[in-house]
Chain A
């Protein structure tokens, strides 16, 4: 018995001695580790060498970081540096990456880690998956309410702003940016212009003999017709008034065709040619075309834009009408977002109007306070954490197969762009229209603000040809598409960008003149245009008559929307911004 107790005693003694020896090394305190790992976690530095594993939630990663920290040798040079830098980062907010200031602080922390000798070894990277999804997926999942409740007071697609994390609103601009108001003064003069052209052409037609025999000697142009043609010329191309400063606003009363002369489409009228000829036929054509455009553009009295008395309808009335038309188009059966809008209506009680009111009152941002933050990982989605954007958690996305078919896309090259402008592309992916998933994964992506980008190549179908015109080129294009920028945290991250269709549709809706058909719809531009605005094809670069597709959008010269002078006017009115240039740099309130 005595021997048994001796054996037990020796056993316990050995255990105690071993444990004492093994615990002799110093480790950081729990508070030190918690502070350091908290900062690392908040700034998305986990999982990394500091702790955590891909697939774990933020909380688990932070716990693992603390555990690793607690097991580290405090006296080690690197550990000491990490504790110091991370511990003094001063990341106060729980979700710094959900706001601009916090994001800046995290950027500063990352820069400090990189710049400190003891911590410069620390590599914090992510495995980034860039995925292109259909315009429908993007719209229905992330901006259904904007589409279903179309309103010029806000953007349909925030990606239009170029930075999803820094969404611009009307309040961010110098003044209210109401597209209808911006172009409202164009409606009545243009109506009067076209109406005058048609009236004068009709007057000339009336004086031409109507029974001229074939082969007979042409009769001289009646004077009344000559007068009418002269009037038309004078209205279309009035002589410059030396008393008027060209920099001043045009006198639209005196010159109602001021905007009509800018329009590339109205150039099809051939007004000057017609008045030069001043024949019955030319006048008939001018009258007919002017009437058609007046009808097409909603400029007939009682039309969308013009009252019965020939005056322009009020901007609110026009806006309401356009809103209804666009909303009806989006939500109609078989429409673009029929199902998504129906769900929205159901949530609001079955009424589309009520649904839009509800959206206006509640706002989306309240439900997702970190909408501009990094996308939640799958584990974070389960944790329902508020330190990341949860919109991707429940997203039901579909590949852009139909969109690719719509645009004739044959190859997509996905990539990302860092906040330093570094663009990294993956391998091109072909067969977009048949793929069930269109994505590319990039390893070792350093964390920071990342923008998903893609180069989309293909050939525009003939449906994009201007009606009645022959395409100037083969229609091949190479568009540069980018999604919203986000802060990419360490670990496994997915970013997605919509197909070009979404931009195409949204820009068409958001520009009233594009919607009304006054100008051609803008197409996505190529990478060259974005990188070098001088290569963009437009009147502002003076390359609209060189017969070259300068920006790779598949359209040459006049086929490009930006070769229409009206776009210049729209840019001036801050309705659109020139490609490759800063948005709305000198917009002024024209109201």
Chain B
């Protein structure tokens, strides 16, 4: 509802800007009078008459060249002109002047009729007015006070209170009363006017009458034209002032006798600065103002002569108060398209203003136009609309415009080709465009009848954009779709950005103003792109702009996020294939493309980087510029090209298959998305590139960070003993259990780390003495003593991170401080030496172990199951040769097995 209201408001505003218009075609009076030829020079202005249809313009153009015809078609065209606002009816003056015709009358039915009463009255007036001026006819009126007061007011440039030229005057000078029925007199102050053309129209006929300077009657030092016109008919008056370049114009409906220009219209000036291509003809109110050679638009070779001209001058224009009947000025630029003049630009300049806004004559209005073909396509974004549902989504869609601007200005695929333009008429244009979009989006059978309205809307918005030199207008709409409430997509959002683009330059370059029945859909392009996360917004927007502007270089969308190296990294590439020019040839697109990737060799790590790396990954400098997926860095891409130009056997290829995901399906068959899974060989940074061709070329690159957790927390249970324990004099370790919890911090190289562990060691010894002690004790059943130990162990760990194997090889070497309490309650007290003389059953013993753990890690989701094989030299401070010679001689070599689980965190 708001949109409709704003659209209506915009329409009203645009209409008000148009206003009524007068036209005068009195320019080039000298040449006009002498240049009646078959050449169309000077007639091209007819093609700027957007009031008319193409056929009517052609008719008038032909009339301009060959002379006017008085048939029904001519009537329709002229009546259209005289009924329209603006200066367009002034082109009749040009035609009459080119063919030195005083008048032309065309009847609606194309037949011949008796002279209309107004024309009869006009003839009578023209015959008696000189006499009246000399006082020979109707002297009482000539000498009346009313006339004197009228002339005084004219002399004072004031509006007269009374008008002397009325029906009484007509009757006085002998105009038949019957001729005055339905006829009114239009008094024109003609001081300084050298050529005045009055165009009037009724439903039966159209009549144009050209007056020369000498045909005006002189009264009291002033010159007047008294013209009889049909009552209630539209009348347009165009006059060429001897001191002015642009003609004076007036238009109105003749409800009663009137006088115009009794007080001369107020003047102002227009400070023009118009840059345009060579061959462009610039007109104001039908008067060519570019100063170019007098030639038809299409007589000039395409591209013009020499450099693009700039019209930089000041032109006097009318700027009078409201109600003065002065139509708005019209600036038109004609270019030749397909050997036919078309309006390159058309815009209005207000000719009236409220009294309080009338500025002094010396203050000029400014007109800045850039009608030249820009080196860069100028793109403006009208706005971004968030469709319902986006309010609760995590995406902040409002800044899409700024993101688009960033891409257009920086991305190598767009920079140099396109430029972001600030659209000053944003509000009006966006509303109009939004309305337009609404209409076009909901097009139905009834919409065909609204074609004209649509055109007007488009004209309003796009014309303003065009006036500001904008080639493409963009409007974005963001759609946010939540995942299924009960599915794997729960809590996830899918986004789609739809871009509606109006290629204004194409629109106007192809004759929009010419009312050639253009299909607006040819100029409105709707593209969309889908993505699955906020982080992909820039990349998706870049791909969307690629599609809009048919940029064929591939773009890696979906910026890679730091992903664990055991997981695949999706690589998605958006690519646009240009449709063949021949419409009957199908677009051929490959089902797959090839990307290449290679690891990035890191610079030498600094200690600070190592410290920081313990907390988070440090992005390589080569990848810094590749991070932004929207506006890519040309310098970074160039650097990547150099890198990949060097042959390297470390380079790998990755085949990307065409995505059939619903988010990737576009209405444009040439806009495709390719997708593949990158499995990094090992942790680290990788550079992925795509080119125009599969095997070479680098058009886009991205850095993939296959992360590995810097901190690995692990727990394990090792079991050994029995036949798995070894001591040269026989191991007594019946069972060795060693549960441990540890943490390992990895260096930035990911394969080497260090850490510590805290564990518990339980060793059950069962056996006999280890040496020849306690000889008086012959033999016993197997002794048993148990060692319960607290293990604190720093360690160094290395692990293979290669993903070529589904498992990882791990090795850990550590030294453990082994603080043990030995339970010797079940050791025969008779073994005095073996018990070290301890009467108590608990013995404290401190040892040092060396542990080597070798394992295979099996990734299980977020954790890793470690199948361990261990070799542990316990109690290296004891003698391995003299193991178990006492209850605290614990030297053993353990070979054990165990299971562990580990998981990391960043």
Which residues of A approach B to under 8 Å, CB–CB?
1, 3-4, 7-8, 11, 14-15, 18-19, 21-23, 25, 27, 47-54, 63-64, 67-73, 76, 78-79, 82, 119, 121-125, 444, 490-491
Q: Inside 8 A of B777's CB, which chain A residues have their CB?
A: 49, 123
Interface centre among B729, B752, B776 (most CB of A within 10 A): B729
Q: How far is the CA of A63 from the CA of B749 in the complex (A)?
A: 50
Q: Is B248 an interface residue when CB atoms closer than 8 A count as contact?
A: no
Contact A68–B769 (Cβ < 8 Å)? yes
Q: Inside 8 A of B771's CB, which chain A residues have their CB?
A: 68-69, 71-73, 79
Q: How far is the CA of A71 from the CA of B881 in the complex (A)?
A: 6
| Of B282-290, B291-299, B588-596, B870-878, the one with at least 4 CB within 8 A of chain A | B870-878
Q: Inside 8 A of A121's CB, which chain B residues have their CB?
A: 775-776
Residue in B767, B879, B880 whose beta carbon sits within 8 Å of that of A53 in the complex: B767
Q: Is B500 an interface residue when CB atoms closer than 8 A count as contact?
A: no
Majority secondary structure of chain A interface residues (helix, strand, loop or mixed): mixed
Closest chain A CB from B7 CB (angstroms): 69
Contact B729–A15 (Cβ < 8 Å)? no
Residue of A nearest to B798 (CB): A4
If A8-B796, A11-B850, A14-B848 touch, whether A122 touches B881 (CB-CB below 8 Å) is no
Q: How far is the CA of A226 from the CA of B884 in the complex (A)?
A: 98
Majority secondary structure of chain B interface residues (helix, strand, loop or mixed): loop
Q: Inside 8 A of B815's CB, which chain A residues have their CB?
A: 11, 14-15
Closest chain B CB from A175 CB (angstroms): 47
Q: Inside 8 A of A70's CB, which chain B residues have their CB?
A: 728-729, 881
Contact A22–B879 (Cβ < 8 Å)? yes
If A1-B747, A67-B729 touch, whether A11 touches B880 (CB-CB below 8 Å) is no
Residue of A nearest to B831 (CB): A49
Q: How far is the CA of A14 from the CA of B775 in the complex (A)?
A: 36
Contact A4–B879 (Cβ < 8 Å)? no
Contact B885–A71 (Cβ < 8 Å)? yes
Q: Is B608 an interface residue when CB atoms closer than 8 A count as contact?
A: no
Residue in B769, B881, B891 whose beta carbon sits within 8 Å of that of A49 in the complex: B769
Q: Inside 8 A of A1's CB, which chain B residues have their CB?
A: 605, 747, 749, 752
Q: How far is the CA of A544 from the CA of B462 in the complex (A)?
A: 156
Q: How far is the CA of A3 from the CA of B610 in the complex (A)?
A: 11
Q: Inside 8 A of A50's CB, which chain B residues have their CB?
A: 772, 775
Residue in B728, B772, B781 whose beta carbon sits within 8 Å of that of A72 in the complex: B772
Q: How far is the CA of A119 from the CA of B772 in the complex (A)?
A: 11
Q: How far is the CA of A491 from the CA of B780 in the complex (A)?
A: 10
Contact A490–B779 (Cβ < 8 Å)? yes
Contact B881–A7 (Cβ < 8 Å)? no
Residue of B nearest to A446 (CB): B778
Interface centre among A18, A27, A444 (most CB of B within 10 A): A18
Interface centre among B729, B769, B772, B794 (most CB of A within 10 A): B772
Closest chain A CB from B217 CB (angstroms): 109
Closest chain B CB from A38 CB (angstroms): 15
Q: Is B814 an interface residue when CB atoms closer than 8 A count as contact?
A: yes
Closest A-B pairs by Cβ, 7 of them = A67-B729, A71-B729, A123-B778, A72-B771, A18-B876, A22-B879, A71-B771
Sample (27) of A-B pairs whose CB atoms are under 8 Å apart: A1-B747, A3-B754, A4-B754, A7-B754, A11-B813, A11-B815, A15-B815, A15-B850, A18-B848, A19-B880, A23-B879, A23-B881, A50-B772, A63-B730, A68-B768, A71-B729, A71-B771, A71-B883, A71-B885, A72-B773, A72-B885, A78-B775, A79-B771, A119-B775, A121-B776, A123-B775, A444-B778
Using A51-B768, A70-B729 as known contacts, list a sample of 17 further A-B pairs with CB atoms less than 8 Å apart, ordered by residue number in A.
Answer: A1-B749, A4-B752, A7-B794, A22-B876, A22-B877, A22-B879, A23-B879, A47-B779, A49-B775, A53-B768, A69-B771, A71-B883, A71-B884, A79-B771, A121-B775, A121-B776, A444-B778
Residue interface mask B244-264, A partner, CB < 8 A = 1: 000000000000000000000
Closest chain B CB from A523 CB (angstroms): 40
Residue interface mask B719-763, A partner, CB < 8 A = 1: 000000000111000000000000000010100101000000000
Residue of B nearest to A68 (CB): B771
Q: Is B770 an interface residue when CB atoms closer than 8 A count as contact?
A: yes
Contact A490–B778 (Cβ < 8 Å)? yes
Q: Is B774 an interface residue when CB atoms closer than 8 A count as contact?
A: yes
Closest chain B CB from A565 CB (angstroms): 53
Q: Inside 8 A of B794's CB, which chain A residues have their CB?
A: 7
Q: Inside 8 A of A119's CB, which chain B residues have their CB?
A: 775
Q: How far is the CA of A121 from the CA of B777 in the complex (A)?
A: 9
Residue interface mask B822-836, A partner, CB < 8 A = 1: 000000000000000
Contact B873–A15 (Cβ < 8 Å)? yes
Closest chain A CB from B362 CB (angstroms): 80
Q: Inside 8 A of A19's CB, which chain B residues have their CB?
A: 876, 880
The interface on chain B, measured as residues whose beta carbon lies within 8 A of the other chain's beta carbons, has a size of 42
Residue interface mask B854-880, A partner, CB < 8 A = 1: 000000000000000000010011111
Q: Is B882 an interface residue when CB atoms closer than 8 A count as contact?
A: yes
Q: Inside 8 A of A11's CB, which chain B residues have their CB?
A: 796, 813-815, 850
Q: Inside 8 A of A23's CB, which chain B residues have their CB?
A: 879-881
Q: Inside 8 A of A4's CB, which chain B residues have their CB?
A: 747, 752, 754, 796
Contact B774–A49 (Cβ < 8 Å)? yes
Q: Is B31 an interface residue when CB atoms closer than 8 A count as contact?
A: no
Q: How far is the CA of A49 from the CA of B768 in the complex (A)?
A: 9
Q: Inside 8 A of B881's CB, which chain A residues have their CB?
A: 23, 27, 70-71
If A67-B730, A71-B729, A82-B772 touch, whether A48 touches B779 (CB-CB below 8 Å) is yes
Contact B728–A53 (Cβ < 8 Å)? no
Q: How far is the CA of A22 from the CA of B878 in the complex (A)?
A: 5
Closest chain A CB from B736 CB (angstroms): 19
Q: How far is the CA of A47 from the CA of B876 in the complex (A)?
A: 30
Closest chain A CB from B733 CB (angstroms): 14
Residue interface mask B880-900, A partner, CB < 8 A = 1: 111111000001000000000
**Chain B 767-808 interface residues, beta-carbon cutoff 8 Å to A:** 767-779, 781-782, 794, 796
If A1-B747, A53-B768, A491-B779 touch, whether A25 touches B730 (CB-CB below 8 Å) is no
If A68-B770, A71-B883, A78-B772 touch, whether A125 touches B778 (CB-CB below 8 Å) is yes
Closest chain A CB from B278 CB (angstroms): 68
Residue of A nearest to B769 (CB): A68
Q: Inside 8 A of B883's CB, which chain A residues have their CB?
A: 71
Contact A21–B877 (Cβ < 8 Å)? yes
Interface centre among A21, A23, A49 (most CB of B within 10 A): A49
Residue of A nearest to B889 (CB): A71
Q: How far is the CA of A247 from the CA of B217 in the complex (A)?
A: 215
Q: How far is the CA of A52 from the CA of B779 in the complex (A)?
A: 9
Q: How far is the CA of A243 from the CA of B776 in the complex (A)?
A: 73
Q: Inside 8 A of A491's CB, which chain B residues have their CB?
A: 779
Contact B882–A25 (Cβ < 8 Å)? yes
Closest chain B CB from A77 CB (angstroms): 11
Closest chain A CB from B615 CB (angstroms): 17
Q: How far is the CA of A491 from the CA of B778 in the complex (A)?
A: 9
Residue of A nearest to B781 (CB): A54
Closest chain A CB from B31 CB (angstroms): 89
Closest chain A CB from B784 CB (angstroms): 13
If A21-B877, A48-B779, A49-B777 touch, whether A71 touches B728 (CB-CB below 8 Å) is yes
Q: Inside 8 A of A27's CB, which chain B residues have their CB?
A: 881-882
Closest chain A CB from B820 CB (angstroms): 16
Q: Inside 8 A of B728's CB, which chain A residues have their CB?
A: 67, 70-71
Residue in B772, B850, B891 whose beta carbon sits within 8 Å of that of A68 in the complex: B772
Residue of A nearest to B607 (CB): A3
Q: Inside 8 A of A47's CB, which chain B residues have their CB?
A: 768, 779
Q: How far is the CA of A527 from the CA of B772 in the complex (A)?
A: 42
Q: How far is the CA of A51 from the CA of B779 in the complex (A)?
A: 9
Q: How far is the CA of A490 from the CA of B877 in the complex (A)?
A: 35
Q: Inside 8 A of B747's CB, which chain A residues have their CB?
A: 1, 4
Q: How far is the CA of A428 from the CA of B693 in the complex (A)?
A: 105
Q: How far is the CA of A339 from the CA of B371 in the complex (A)?
A: 131
Closest chain B CB from A119 CB (angstroms): 8
Q: Inside 8 A of B767's CB, which chain A residues have their CB?
A: 53
Q: Inside 8 A of A52's CB, which chain B residues have their CB?
A: 768, 779
Interface centre among B769, B775, B815, B876 (most CB of A within 10 A): B775
